[in-house]
Amino acid sequence: MKQRKWTAESEKGEITIYKLTNKNGSSVVLSSLGAGVLSIIIPDKNGRFFDVVLGYANPADYLYDEPYAGKTIGRYAGRIANGEFSIDGVKYQLAQNSGTNSLHGGIESFSNRIWDSQPLADGVLFSLVSEDGDEGYPGQLAVTVQYTWSDDNQLRIRMRAATDKKTVVNLTNHTYFNLAGDNCGCVLGEKLWIAASKYLPINDTLIPIGETASVENTPMDFREEKIIGQDIEADFLPLKYAKGYDNTWIVDDWEKGKLKTVARLSDDISGRTLEISSTQPTVHVYTGNWISGCPRSKSGKLYMDYDGVAIECQGYPDAPNKPQFPSQLLQPGEKYDETIIFKFGIKY
């Protein structure tokens, strides 16, 4: 494994960037800003290497970007209704940065921090300490995100956390993929499979209403691989609320701590495939419905809506306010430990 390290400047200080290249020439670029993924370069079926991750020309442009491109999301991925929740009768107020709701950890979320970093033999370890009261969340939280890049093009992300006070934690990675290649246009022609027979219905602010529903006979049915955009314009409220997919699927037969294949993305023209495994109970799919206007891409072009898809493995959104959902409560002495694997391949 070859590793290169360099730095870039931002208004929050120096960003450390790592490039990991395996024995086959495929590479991953990681950044200490948001403990994020800047680039994944892999071959197509003809052996041509392309970057399959959306990202920006300037490493500092990831700071406060609305798409959260490539970054680690925390303390809480997804939305929390009205930016508030309670633990043991004590109410905690968060930033309301998505209408009246809190989204992806608030304004100064983990995605907008410069993490400490340490190179490893086959990857990078990022670490962060979030103080008690940070963005309104209780407890001092110590977090690590470890990336490992293998010779068979697997990017393993292990996310761990510990707290000194009861709190809620929900971490994920927010990379946008386009298997045709960055700046190759709309991603809606690629195919997606999700291991889920149920999803979470939402209200018009994209908060789960607290019930589950079958995907049967709805645009949410990805149990058989289908083109992402096939039903995206259907007369179906969850799609109309978000101008596309911004929805959560419940992983079938999920068991806490058990790694499971939860989704597959594929592009027929390039032959590239992406298999996603996770220990997390849900898969949230966002089809880049509002990414127009984000910073210029790595090639200097502007992105358009639907140019990439984020497939976020995470806990249930708004679980702190929904006791019927699996809990995301973390207590002192407990360990938060979740894994996501992005495995790239080729079909001919």
CA atoms within 13 A on the CB side of 28: 27
What would you measure as the largest C-alpha separation in the chain, in angstroms?
Answer: 59
| φ/ψ (deg, to 5) at 78 | 85, -165
Contacts of 48 (CB under 8 A, 6+ apart): none
Active-site residue, selected from the candidate residues 104, 135, 174, 190? 174
User: Helix count (H) and strand count (E) of the chain?
Assistant: 1, 28
- Other CB atoms within a 10 A radius of the CB of residue 187 amount to 23
Phi-psi region of 102 (alpha: psi -120 to 50; beta: other; left: phi over 0): beta
Q: Residue 165 CB: number of other CB atoms within 10 A?
A: 14
* Residue 304 neighbours by CB distance under 10 Å: 14
Q: Which two tokens stand for residue 124?
A: 């990078």
From residue 324, give the alpha-carbon distance in Å to each of 170, 208, 245.
17, 12, 24
- The answer to whether 312 is a known catalytic residue is yes
Which of 207, 206, 208 is closest to 198 using CA atoms? 208
Asked if 227 and 191 touch (Cβ cutoff 8 Å), the reply is yes
Q: Which of 135, 190, 284, 312 is catalytic?
A: 312
Closest C-alpha to 233, from 222, 242, 221, 223: 242
Taking the C-alpha atoms of residue 43 and residue 10, their distance in angstroms, rounded to an integer, is: 32
| Strand ranges, E, within 176-286 | 176-177, 191-194, 198-199, 213-214, 226-227, 246-250, 260-266, 272-278, 282-286
Nearest to 110 by CA among 12, 20, 208: 12
Q: Is the dihedral of CA 252, 275, 241, 295 positive or negative?
A: positive
> Catalytic amino acids?
174, 312
